[in-house]
Structure 1
Amino acid sequence: MRTHWEILDAHTVTPEQQQYALDRAINGLRDDDPRQSAAKPLLGWQKPVLLSLLAIAVAFAVWRPMETAVTLIGLCTLAYLLTLGDRVLIFRRGLASRPIVIPDDVARAIPEDELPAYTILVPAYNEPEVVADLIGAMDSLEYPRDRLQVLLLLEADDQVTIDAAEACGESDVITILLVPPAEPRTKPKACNYGLHFATGDIVTIFDAEDLPEPLQLRRVVAAFRNLSDDVACVQAKLVYHNGHQNLLTAWFTAEYGLWFGYLLPGMMVSTSPIPLGGTSNHLRREMLQGIGAWDPFNVTEDADLGLRIAANGYRTAVIDSYTLEEANSDPINWIRQRSRWYKGYLQTWLVHIRRPVKLYRTLGLRSFIRFTLVLAGTPIIAVLNLLFWFITVLWFLGQPAVVGEVFPDLIYFPALVAMIIGNFTVMYMNMIALREDDRSDLLLAALTVWLFWLMMSVAAAKGCYQMIRQPSFWEKTFHGLAEKPDEDAAHRAAAQK
């Protein structure tokens, strides 16, 4: 593979310019507009307002403990019902309008001289076991090599991954770009650094273990041609190739099928902000640079970027192209990953709520409410599940009087609807999604998904705790725990879904 220094020579980049690229990668968004950066979790009015609300809640809890408990449980029940109703609405829209389909012949019909320059960023850290698969995945892409730039972003002090990459030999499409070591050690910081050296009109991200379907780039180009100019991003679907490894990977696979196949398309047609996936989001480079690129301090930079796209008046489309990924097969590793996602959702909500009036005017009432329900509601409700499950167990064990007192009729019956009908509805949506995708092999996962919800709650509690103690700490997810898939068979199976 070509080395980092050859890139610098090719672009006559001086060490001073290299330092400038690193500084912008870390501080660009924070310097240009601090209120869009998660470098500080709370800014301006947020800290005094949150502390005041906490003080008021504590004061009422001391003065009128039972009334305070009833009020808080009532508010939580309302949040459950709103979230459930909104999720059903999104799912119905997603069923009626699936991701945008670009047929193979349409994708291949674009003349090579009309294809735009494309840059693929592949950040990897401490992943020697999967980086070798990258060459085969990139070589399989049907895109002219003279219009394709693949930057493998490696930390300069990650010698084990550098050695593994160099051991793969020469590649006519992949270039190693060494990112100078600096805090924060996050994926978005590496992507920002790589963006400084990008030459493509369209930029996308793949993880080192990703297996994108060969026509994905051409499909995206065709989609951009047919879509309006306000579409700044095209998101492809993420599909797991190891869904049968164990029950955890089956749960994860079913969840992603529902999310990328139905919920994101439902958000797309309702013009709601779309939290992007971690990879396979294809972005117009000019737009990306114009809105500040990725936030290096946000641990779910994809969700944050999706919200920032919407907040700046742009839209995201979802395309019926897929990228094969490895589902987390280890419970501890999965909780590390999911807790980071939940923490990042809270980070993203806190960042974008700093300008509530401006955001409301840009998104409108419905999308503004959905933004709160998805970004803040998802992790908070997952934590609240632990509390309400505990209360339910207490009631069945001994029916203590205090449980009945905090659930008067006005709250008890809506809460019962949320618990029984809500849980059934979520399971039913999973079943419908599996039926539509012909995934009867995941039926056991759909029927036992309540165990998956328990793991989500544990991860959410950890994420909320880390939000207070380590807001920008990037908890590493380890890959390479699954057997290497038969790529041809995996692509054929995914294409049928």
Structure 2
Amino acid sequence: MVLLSERGGGDWLTLLLYHVLGPPGERGVSVQRPPTGPAALPSEIAFLLAEGVDGRLLVRAAAAAAAAGTDAATALLNAGLIAESAYYEALARALGAPYLDGPIPFGLGLRFPDSLVAGLAPLAPGSVSPWVLAPRGRAIADLLDAPGRAPCRAAMPAITSPTRLREAVFAAIPEQVADHAAHDLRRRAPERATAPEPALRWLLVLALAVTAALCLCAALPPPLARAVVIAGQILFLAMAALRIAALAIAAPVEPEAVAPLAEADLPVYTVLVPLHREAAVVPDLLRALSALDYPAAKLDIKLLLEADDAETASALPRDTLPARFEVITVPPGGPRTKPRALNAALPLARGALLTVYDAEDVPDPGQLRLAAALFARLPARTACLQGRLVIDNAGDSYLARVFALEYAGLFDVLNPAFARCGLPVPLGGTSMHLRTAVVRALHGWDAHNVTEDADLGLRLALAGYTVGDLPSPTFEEAPARLGPWLGQRTRWLKGLVQTSLTHGRRPLDTARSLGGLETLCAVALVPGTVASALAYPVCLVAAAWSFLVLEIPAAPAFLDNLPTGLAITLFGTGLAALVLPALAGCARRGWGDLAQSVPWMPVYFLLVSLAAWLALIELVRAPLRWNKTRHGLARTSRSGRRARRGRPATPCDTARGPDGGACASA
């Protein structure tokens, strides 16, 4: 499509069609040479000189835009050099168009997300104009540079700011927004969405199938029954061995080995941050997001609030946040889950890449640059990069300490190994970096799944995409007390059951789509995690009774001894699969002091088992309940990057502190 600045005439109908059909937000912009004075200012900011804006600020914005390869208006607004409302009011005056700042009287044809994606919405008959327009990026220069603009001012659309348009659309059609966020996946890909039927039905079917299988095994002749038992033991042994095999895979490339992209080559990056009752950590969150080492003109940070969360809303300094921060209040509706909030913001994401952070996260400042560089050199089928989640408050309690060990094994050992092999990876709910187009093609997150990260990881694998490793830490706060930890882990395991039931409705089709080894990995990481947690206490007690009280009989024939031998092997392999990744993770992070707590892990997994049984109960009684975890309670910080309760974060006393290593405060 030919740009408007290259057209002859001032046909505003053509202009409106351009804004409806053309991509909004950041467009392809050639890198400009930095201007040397006000006369060289780009048109999208040059008109501000007549409004009395300091020319030095405009020159600064133009230079930043030239360096980043973007437009000067976005650079000016995202850097906070001018308020968004002031800019668009001045733009309306420059265009000779009405400016809408108060209520917007929309007409027929208002749609979510189409009207916001286009930045164009119809106005009611009798309004100041048939349309209201909220232009972004290069579209602003196209408007200002359109030949013949002045004679057609009577037909010109009204102007408003993108924030005002979005707030007005959300207020005018909240039901459409809520319906899209909650049900778009179910409408477009019902086979990949959580079933609307009660989970009790599926659990009963599963229980009946297991009972029938056990009865059938009991009725089989002894040789055949033994063969079935051995086959089951080998399957579980293979799943445990998969975790141990990850230890032998070499550590992935380190950040220093990745060539960074030039600023002009960096893509626009969207950061989604769902917030719910998080007023206590808002200051720390804003500091962490402001510290991201990424061009401000290419950042699109969206803070997502629930409609009834007045406390968090009041903690956000909306009036002083630069335009790269956008506060979005999700319309009320069900289910009240994190993925529903993400779905409401996904259509509005302007970045080619996006990531999700939780409220308490402190990502490494260079994480976005590293992810962009890795995506640029990886094939398109690598749709996601999983960052390294690091528990930072391990010194708060024994529970937090073992939680940190568990995360070290998962995110520093298992996930990188599975990613190198192209196997399904259990995504974390945060610091997962995604190609925006792929997430949209998969219709976003499952709003009815309370462990949306695991579900998305499996859907990526089923669609033929792979997940890569992002060797960049994000420091998190773990629950230090049993009650909050149990609620959080119950929700996670409940979501794994939901994911298992969703993608297990057609097990043969799922296995065919994944492949053999990929299916084994997915079974081990999703339903296998829940099944092993449920069975862990029984197996532990049975093994202790057999080893410590009873004598293990020796049969004269090898085949008769094989089930007993495999049971002993499976017990030892299972314990090793729990402990060894954590030890390897400690070694890679230099956590010698935490490695001493590894013997507590068998006791810790008894608590995981309790959470698994509670998850089954909650899945029947309250499948959509989101057990909220309070943040901002940490008393220690290994890295020194997180604020601690009672005093701000300070650097650790040891050289390894900033990298998550040993810290005296822990």
What interval of TM-score do these two structures reach, taking the shorter chain for normalisation?
0.7 to 0.9
Secondary structure of the corresponding residue to residue 317 of structure 1: strand
Deviation at 1:129, TM superposition (A): 1.2
Q: Cα deviation per residue 1:393-425 (whole Å; 9 max; x = unaligned)?
A: 555786599xx9xxx744322112222354245
| Equivalent-residue separation in structure 1 for 2:344 and 2:440 (angstroms) | 12
Answer with 250-259 or 194-203: which moved more: 194-203
Q: Structure 1 residues 55, 423: closer, same or farther in 2, change over 3 A?
A: closer
| Equivalent-residue separation in structure 2 for 1:186 and 1:445 (angstroms) | 34
Secondary structure of the corresponding residue to residue 169 of structure 2: coil
Q: Structure 1 residues 104, 154: closer, same or farther in 2, change over 3 A?
A: farther
Q: Structure 1 residues 420, 279: closer, same or farther in 2, change over 3 A?
A: same
Residue identity opposite 2:303 in structure 1: L
Q: What are the ranges of 5 or more consecutive residues in structure 2 without an aligned counterpart?
A: 1-82, 86-102, 104-160, 642-649, 662-666
Alignment of 1:310-325 (within 5 A): 310-325=461-476
Q: Cα deviation per residue 1:150-205 (whole Å; 9 max; x = unaligned)?
A: 11111011112212224x86221422211112111100001111113222211111
Secondary structure of the corresponding residue to residue 103 of structure 1: helix
Q: Structure 1 residues 104, 33: closer, same or farther in 2, change over 3 A?
A: same
Secondary structure of the corresponding residue to residue 651 of structure 2: helix
Deviation at 1:220, TM superposition (A): 0.8
- Count of residue pairs the alignment pairs up: 486
2:286 to 130, 135, 160: 135
1:152 equivalent to 2:303? Answer yes
Answer with 346-355 or 23-32: which moved more: 346-355
| Equivalent-residue separation in structure 2 for 1:199 and 1:235 (angstroms) | 21
1:183 alignment partner in structure 2: 334
Q: Structure 1 residues 52, 252: closer, same or farther in 2, change over 3 A?
A: closer
1:171 equivalent to 2:321? Answer yes
1:83 alignment partner in structure 2: 239
| Equivalent-residue separation in structure 2 for 1:47 and 1:255 (angstroms) | 28
Question: 2:460·2:466 contact (CA, 8 Å) conserved in 1?
Answer: yes
Deviation at 1:67, TM superposition (A): 11
1:304 to 437, 455, 467: 455
Deviation at 1:74, TM superposition (A): 6.0
TM-score, normalising length: structure 1: 0.88
1:9 equivalent to 2:9? Answer no
| Equivalent-residue separation in structure 2 for 1:242 and 1:357 (angstroms) | 43
Q: Structure 1 residues 411, 61: closer, same or farther in 2, change over 3 A?
A: closer
Question: 1:2·1:171 contact (CA, 8 Å) conserved in 2?
Answer: no
Of structures 1 and 2, the one with the larger relative CO (CA 8 A, separation 6+) is 1
Question: 2:306·2:331 contact (CA, 8 Å) conserved in 1?
Answer: yes
Question: 1:130·1:208 contact (CA, 8 Å) conserved in 2?
Answer: yes
Secondary structure of the corresponding residue to residue 229 of structure 1: coil
2:615 alignment partner in structure 1: 463
1:222 alignment partner in structure 2: 373
Q: Cα deviation per residue 1:419-452 (whole Å; 9 max; x = unaligned)?
A: 2354245423432332232210112221221111
Question: 1:36·1:352 contact (CA, 8 Å) conserved in 2?
Answer: yes
Question: 1:236·1:319 contact (CA, 8 Å) conserved in 2?
Answer: yes
Answer with 297-306 or 172-181: which moved more: 172-181
Answer with 280-289 or 355-364: which moved more: 355-364
1:260 alignment partner in structure 2: 411
Identity %: 31
Q: Structure 1 residues 67, 456: closer, same or farther in 2, change over 3 A?
A: farther
Q: Structure 1 residues 250, 349: closer, same or farther in 2, change over 3 A?
A: same
Secondary structure of the corresponding residue to residue 152 of structure 1: strand
2:358 to 207, 216, 220: 207
2:588 to 429, 436, 442: 436
| Equivalent-residue separation in structure 1 for 2:294 and 2:196 (angstroms) | 41
Q: Cα deviation per residue 1:466-492 (whole Å; 9 max; x = unaligned)?
A: 233333322212222213743263796
| Equivalent-residue separation in structure 1 for 2:204 and 2:584 (angstroms) | 45
Question: 2:410·2:581 contact (CA, 8 Å) conserved in 1?
Answer: no
Structure with more helix by fraction = 1
| Equivalent-residue separation in structure 2 for 1:441 and 1:184 (angstroms) | 42
2:393 alignment partner in structure 1: 242
Question: 1:57·1:68 contact (CA, 8 Å) conserved in 2?
Answer: no
Answer with 184-193 or 233-242: which moved more: 233-242
| Equivalent-residue separation in structure 2 for 1:344 and 1:254 (angstroms) | 22
Higher-Rg structure is: 2
Q: Cα deviation per residue 1:334-374 (whole Å; 9 max; x = unaligned)?
A: 11111211111121122122343443333211111211121
1:493 equivalent to 2:657? Answer yes
Residue identity opposite 2:657 in structure 1: A
Deviation at 1:62, TM superposition (A): 9.5
| Equivalent-residue separation in structure 2 for 1:420 and 1:54 (angstroms) | 25
Question: 1:2·1:170 contact (CA, 8 Å) conserved in 2?
Answer: no
Question: 1:236·1:318 contact (CA, 8 Å) conserved in 2?
Answer: yes
Secondary structure of the corresponding residue to residue 318 of structure 1: strand
Q: What are the ranges of 5 or more consecutive residues in structure 1 without an aligned counterpart?
A: none
Deviation at 1:21, TM superposition (A): 2.6
TM-score, normalising length: structure 2: 0.66
1:40 alignment partner in structure 2: 196
Deviation at 1:224, TM superposition (A): 0.8
Residue identity opposite 2:567 in structure 1: A
Deviation at 1:47, TM superposition (A): 7.5
Deviation at 1:73, TM superposition (A): 7.1
| Equivalent-residue separation in structure 2 for 1:483 and 1:155 (angstroms) | 28
2:484 to 333, 336, 342: 333
Question: 1:235·1:277 contact (CA, 8 Å) conserved in 2?
Answer: yes
Alignment of 1:346-385 (within 5 A): 346-385=497-536
Q: Structure 1 residues 135, 318: closer, same or farther in 2, change over 3 A?
A: same
1:103 alignment partner in structure 2: 256
| Equivalent-residue separation in structure 2 for 1:356 and 1:105 (angstroms) | 39
Q: Structure 1 residues 169, 310: closer, same or farther in 2, change over 3 A?
A: same
2:600 to 428, 448, 453: 448
Deviation at 1:54, TM superposition (A): 4.5
2:100 alignment partner in structure 1: none
| Equivalent-residue separation in structure 1 for 2:563 and 2:356 (angstroms) | 46
| Equivalent-residue separation in structure 2 for 1:305 and 1:361 (angstroms) | 18
Answer with 387-396 or 66-75: which moved more: 66-75
Question: 1:239·1:494 contact (CA, 8 Å) conserved in 2?
Answer: no
Deviation at 1:299, TM superposition (A): 0.9
